[in-house]
Structure 1
């Protein structure tokens, strides 16, 4: 990714440690934020080329478990007396396995890490032996004889404000050398805790089932900082945002900050599974204010049998259709989540659920089931007949088969999941789904299967890259990012999609609907993010305009034979669209800087770079000019050309912290 991913957890650890006067005076703490794909050798040279630290702490998840173990082994060669600390959900409560596999690890932190990490550093400064950490609650460690000692669990942090803000304290660097916000999005927590115990998830177990909130005053101050740094998107890293009444105040402050400073302009989060009056109030506020978000239906399955094994019967998931219909009719962006391969699920039940869901929500995030440590599914493998395999480059267990899913069925479905994730979830196509369903009776799953079949048999050389990426899907770790980037950025990929449409989909369409659907499909391609326009075909040298302190590429005077936004909007509202041909002209605006979003495979962020009409940009860029008409808004868009660690002093303890970044290590 061109931009960094914010190392929020490491920021919390550093800020809490430095709030202790003794640690602040005695220690230098540095955060090493490595990008995904960085090799172990590169990280080792960056960490140890000057002098290895005294304490090396890792925030561990399945994708960096082995890499971090390798770095720990190198560290112990250079500093045998140094401490290696592992924390994170993948190793919490798993110390016996960690120590058995990686004897270089000295301590495993179980649960929330801020206060535990502070206490460990004070033990180090006190000269406590790393094999005698009996006084530190919430850790497991190896005693001198090699046996594992599991200390008493640490109580959950009730008053979250005792964790200093990593933003307001400067524990996290917020800007780059040019003074610009350095991360792709701003991550923040408004609360901690999850009231559910889903069989596939450890969120509630890791941070507790009781939900605790940060104070409104702290959150307001953080939003103020993000507004002044011109942060476009805030991601609230909460399990169930919209569950607490205080979430309303947070959104009110977010909107007020945007209106006063122009930023932030979008909120992404994991929305509450059960949608209460609080949720609907927040959605209404955000719509009226033009504050963008992707509202989530975290269903995971529509199979009653699978819901039982997931421990999700207490969620009102059967009410999702009314909610999806309401969001659709309000014209609000919505996506859903499904997990393939849960015990109790079959191919038929999953596909039935997918198409039932896609009638209301086209952007469906579909993921293969993984077995995670400390979860109910992991503990009941034998009961469900689960057969699994460890990943090649990670430490997750990939489910291959179980009592209601054969090996062959799983392989078949992995191909479907690949196409669904690349094309539908990541919005390579998004306008065409409701139009095809309404005007041609073609379901979303049918379209995706036709694409898979076509790329497998066509002689078009542009299909070869996608065919190769899809072939990796059977192992459950398909090259999704490469496929998405290819479809969004390569002119040959656009030509290939047009040929696929003509050869595989258009023959299935009623003759009277074909001209309309042709134009909707063209609009899909036209509104994809602009990614390095110099690499686009001749004639795509788009000017950059400045709209409320944010840059957009402008594609002016796009002519269509039908009013596509109006047609699709009517279908989404449940109304009959007017299919009369018109000479429809529209200006399309695209946020610059899509490169990080496209390559990150983050569908929640990439949608903010899609082509928008002037009216949509007007809503998105409200704030200092609230109340301007659309014409006045356009008049204020100013065109312009596209432009395109020091070693610690003697006697001070050094602490290196490495934080997990999805898809790599940081």
Structure 2
């Protein structure tokens, strides 16, 4: 190795999350890179590695000052995704001004096999990593430590770089990692800093990989191409030790960053380990993941086991479209994922939370086919995550733009191509649907409303898409100052996530938004409800708003309802006591969900609602999988979702939070 013993090579690993929120998003990719470097006895004595993690929305100037105010590193490596591609290119240019001899590395699925374009757009970038990065980056650092010139890196497999004459050189492909244990755990090794200055877990959730690989090659996605179609797993023993560490830090939610969780028998072992850890330490209490698209016996056993143990999750129906024509272009026509209705009915009968995913704008889709599919799906699943089709590098859709007649434009602050029109979608179709998607994502996907959908469909004959369209039309013309921000967010929603997050935050945090929703309900919805059902529907609507997360910002001059705090199983909950309902709304909602005719007899009841504290990060992002954990619920619900055995330490109150027969 070159260089003096007291002059270590400095390496900055840079990540930026997509959302701007109070808590950080865990920089897992950088953690893997750092742990792999530090485990190498030949390299580690000669390097100093720092992870620089930024929230979404952080400006280039702020990031540059944070990175370079004390001097630039020798190696600057970025984990690149579509939303930070432009910013990281700008930071590379700044770095080159400060350290002309330094090395700039881009890695990640967005730049894999895209070196010619990257180098053309950002001449300051020296190396693009193709595929999995841990071992490749380690070899690249080793080459630099032994004095390799940045234009002579041919000994490092799995990269692209520029020769002295400017030509792009791509080295031999590096084989996928068959043994994932070659990558040391970023948690167990301490490579990732897990706590803040107060000793609290510093991230919104804990990200874990239990395996890598995806067996599918969907036309809109590069996951299978990027990490390989062969699925490889981390050892159960390693995962157990990681879960134990998170449990001791009282991490509430684990997010498994797998492409198809529930596909492998080992996934059931992970769930058993998760439940065992929760039973021993009280945490973690929820698992979120991308569930297997084709539901196997393993998936059903996992679901049943999690229900038995009271381990919460939102189970995903990753359908993307219900149109046969669009499924054909997506390369998903023959996937069992499309046999979803029996599964959704089964999850309903089991009383388990479920959400679905759809993509608007795929070739083969029309406005009519999409809306028909949306409402068909909404009959079973109201929380539908709806995203516009984006063209990503290395995907089938990107390579077949001409075949499908795709017209697209690239984002001005990100590096996605936004589809504007194609053979089955006009510009006008897309503009109409973008407005619909705004309200569908904000209000239904992010659970501003959860319970009114089934009630309005059953008692008023209104589909979910009709209600959302009604809301959008009313907001567009409402003579109310509180509607102005929402009109602005809707108008600027195309081409970014900021407007969605701002609108969600507005609904969850501003009392004026609640008042506005009451006005919309009275003026635009009640007239469509048969008079005899209006009192019942009014209570369902009120219950939806009552169970929204409780938001308490650290610094605000706004007066909020004062609520007492109660500790249940080492977690704090706000308590709204003596909530009076004229009807047994939870029972009515449950009956509709189970396809039973509800009892609409007036049944006054009183209940206490509990809300996890700390919702501030969840309600200012667009992460619907997390915000759902902050919804109001009864104490019985909390205890059912916690360890079924053992005392509820810290719980107070008189043997129950429900009175007067309200379920």
Paired residues of 2:250 and 2:284 also in contact (CA < 8 A): yes
Tell me the distance in 1 between the aligned counterparts of 2:94 and 2:557: 45
Correspondence for 1:29: 49
Tell me the distance in 1 between the aligned counterparts of 2:256 and 2:266: 13
Correspondence for 1:554: 575
SS in 2 for 1:264: coil
Task: Sort the Cα spacing of 1:340 and 1:529 in 2 relative to 1 into closer, same or farther, 3 A.
Answer: same
- Alignment deviations for residues 295-331 of structure 1 (CA, whole Å, 9 cap, x no partner): 0000000000000000012311331000001111211
Tell me the distance in 1 between the aligned counterparts of 2:498 and 2:599: 41
- Superposed displacement of residue 536, structure 1: 10
- The partner residue of 2:393 within 357, 365, 373 is 373
Task: Sort the Cα spacing of 1:475 and 1:51 in 2 relative to 1 into closer, same or farther, 3 A.
Answer: closer
- Alignment deviations for residues 458-513 of structure 1 (CA, whole Å, 9 cap, x no partner): 11221111111111135565610110000111111101000100000000001111
Correspondence for 1:621: 642
Q: Does 1:587 align with 2:608?
A: yes
- Alignment deviations for residues 89-143 of structure 1 (CA, whole Å, 9 cap, x no partner): 1110000001111111000000000000000010010001111111111000001
- The partner residue of 2:244 within 224, 228, 238 is 224
Correspondence for 2:214: 194
Tell me the distance in 2 between the aligned counterparts of 1:104 and 1:636: 65
- Superposed displacement of residue 439, structure 1: 1.6
Correspondence for 2:271: 251
Task: Sort the Cα spacing of 1:132 and 1:623 in 2 relative to 1 into closer, same or farther, 3 A.
Answer: farther
Correspondence for 1:540: 561
Paired residues of 2:295 and 2:337 also in contact (CA < 8 A): no
339-348 vs 39-48, which moves further? 39-48
Q: Which runs of 5+ in 2 are unaligned?
A: 1-20, 658-663
Task: Sort the Cα spacing of 1:186 and 1:413 in 2 relative to 1 into closer, same or farther, 3 A.
Answer: same
Correspondence for 2:205: 185
Correspondence for 1:651: none
SS in 1 for 2:43: helix
Correspondence for 2:599: 578
- The partner residue of 1:45 within 41, 65, 70 is 65
Pairing of 1:259-658 with structure 2 (within 5 A): 259-475=279-495, 479-532=499-552, 540-622=561-643, 625=646, 634=653
Tell me the distance in 1 between the aligned counterparts of 2:553 and 2:89: 41
Tell me the distance in 1 between the aligned counterparts of 2:165 and 2:395: 31
Tell me the distance in 2 between the aligned counterparts of 1:205 and 1:292: 31
- The partner residue of 2:76 within 56, 67, 72 is 56
SS in 2 for 1:58: strand
- Superposed displacement of residue 434, structure 1: 1.0
Q: Which runs of 5+ in 1 are unaligned?
A: 639-666
Correspondence for 1:662: none
SS in 1 for 2:532: coil
- Superposed displacement of residue 582, structure 1: 1.1
Paired residues of 2:568 and 2:651 also in contact (CA < 8 A): no
SS in 2 for 1:393: coil
TM-score, normalised to structure 1, is 0.93
Task: Sort the Cα spacing of 1:184 and 1:121 in 2 relative to 1 into closer, same or farther, 3 A.
Answer: same
Correspondence for 2:660: none
- Alignment deviations for residues 26-45 of structure 1 (CA, whole Å, 9 cap, x no partner): 00000001111111111111
- Alignment deviations for residues 261-302 of structure 1 (CA, whole Å, 9 cap, x no partner): 100000000000000110000000111111100000000000
- Superposed displacement of residue 622, structure 1: 2.2
- Alignment deviations for residues 215-247 of structure 1 (CA, whole Å, 9 cap, x no partner): 000000000001111000000000000000011
Paired residues of 2:567 and 2:650 also in contact (CA < 8 A): no
Tell me the distance in 1 between the aligned counterparts of 2:602 and 2:553: 31
- Superposed displacement of residue 634, structure 1: 4.5
Paired residues of 1:261 and 1:623 also in contact (CA < 8 A): no
- Superposed displacement of residue 625, structure 1: 2.3
- Superposed displacement of residue 352, structure 1: 0.2
Paired residues of 1:245 and 1:278 also in contact (CA < 8 A): yes
SS in 2 for 1:108: strand
Paired residues of 1:305 and 1:344 also in contact (CA < 8 A): yes
Q: How many residue pairs were aligned?
A: 636
Correspondence for 1:654: none
Q: Runs ≥4 in structure 1, deviation > 4 angstroms? A: 474-478, 533-539, 630-638
Tell me the distance in 2 between the aligned counterparts of 1:525 and 1:10: 40
Paired residues of 1:266 and 1:291 also in contact (CA < 8 A): yes
Higher relative contact order (CA 8 A, sep 6+): 1
Correspondence for 1:641: none
TM-score, normalised to structure 2, is 0.94
Task: Sort the Cα spacing of 1:553 and 1:372 in 2 relative to 1 into closer, same or farther, 3 A.
Answer: same
- The partner residue of 1:131 within 143, 147, 151 is 151
